């Protein structure tokens, strides 16, 4: 996994879009990210498509995976 860039969250980019941007930049598949977070791949898909809300426990894990503050995903 390469280091993620420090993208700034944009009002025009959804939370799911931000997650997808970071995941793709880190060259992770949805399955790879799901494994790191301990969730089902379908849940990562639902988050990226804004069909499910990211729980706070996952926000913290995302911050660690991508080496950014968890507020990037809020």
> How far apart are alpha carbons 16 and 33 in whole angstroms?
14
Q: What is the pLDDT of residue 51?
A: 97
Neighbours of 60 (CB within 10 A): 13
Q: What is the pLDDT of residue 70?
A: 85
pLDDT, averaged per 10 consecutive residues of the chain (74 residues), comes to 52 88 97 98 98 94 94 87
pTM: 0.84
Q: What is the pLDDT of residue 8?
A: 54
Domains, in order of start, for the chain: 15-73 (1.10.260.40)
Q: Report the chain's C-alpha Rg in angstroms.
A: 11
53 CB burial (10 A radius; 0-12, 13-18, 19+)? exposed
Q: What is the pLDDT of residue 11?
A: 62
């Amino acid at each position: 996994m390469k280091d993620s860039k420090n993208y700034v969250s944009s009002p025009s980019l959804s939370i799911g879009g931000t997650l997808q941007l970071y995941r793709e930049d880190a060259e992770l598949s949805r399955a790879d990210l799901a494994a790191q977070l301990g969730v089902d791949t379908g849940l990562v898909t639902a988050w990226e498509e804004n069909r499910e809300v990211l729980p706070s426990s996952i926000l913290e894990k995302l911050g660690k995976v991508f080496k950014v503050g968890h507020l990037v995903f809020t």
